[in-house]
Amino acid sequence: MSRTVKAAAVQFNIRVGEIDANVAYLQGALARLAKDGCQLAVLPEMWNTGYAYKQLNELALRTPEVVEELAKLSQEHGMVVVGSMPEPHGEKVYNTAYVMDRGVLVGKYRKIHLFSMMGEDRSLDGGDSWLVVDTHLGRLGVFICYDLRFPELARRLAVEGAEILVVPAEWPKPREVHWRTLLQARAIENQLFVVAANCCGVQGKLDFFGGSLIIGPKGELLAEGGQEQGELMAILDFSAMANWRQQIPCFNDRKPEYY
């Protein structure tokens, strides 16, 4: 019997600075997904606070409390849940993706590449290590939003055995084509599944288009979100991934000693 995972991206309009409202939305979303048998749920970047730069240090102090709630929801629904939140760190914060497996924090990834164009580097500190983590569903590789533009990171995660790349993001409308193209490229070149959750709605001057995606190892679109709030779900079939890797054995044919 082939191994499969029911994976979902949770796409919603993050209320900037309003942690309680965002947590309440997530509670409802995960309950809906649980009824449909979802096993893996990926949330947007900074899902509990948004980029409330002026309040970020203060809001980050509540992150441990929100992590506890995430653990509770993950355990209650028997899910793996991944989403990024501000993590306190001195005078700045990390943008940290927490990986919760049925109530247990099994890993966290601090965003390495900070988007200087939007001034992220002025308020956040960047992480210094990648993450591939074992869960009861398989091995997950994690990156956050702007990390998507750096194929070296995705390749590292793939080489380390990631079967699913999970991507929490806040990716704005002017670069919508890049979002889809880069996500498909990361799936195709690494022959694995990608589950990417983007937010939607308007935050200040930024318009977020949604367009969350679940992509197969050939680059095929398994599910795609529109511009409104909602959840999208697809079945990831690992035997299909294994068969494709046998047909085109890219990993066996790599020559990393030459590049």
87 annotated active-site = no
111 annotated active-site = yes
Name the residue type at position 201.
G
**82 bridge partner residues:** 42, 99
The residue annotated as part of the active site, out of 38, 45, 87, 163, is 45
Q: Quote the tokens at residue 110.
A: 């601090």
Name the residue type at position 100.
M
Report whether 170 contacts 144 (CB < 8 A): no
255 annotated active-site = no
Residue 58 DSSP SS3:
helix
| DSSP assignment letter at 127 | P
Going by C-alpha positions, the residue among 198, 144, 203 that lies closest to residue 18 is: 203
The residue annotated as part of the active site, out of 145, 163, 170, 199, is 145
The residue annotated as part of the active site, out of 87, 111, 120, 231, is 111
- CA 168-151-239 angle, to 5 degrees, is 75
Residues with catalytic roles: 45, 111, 145
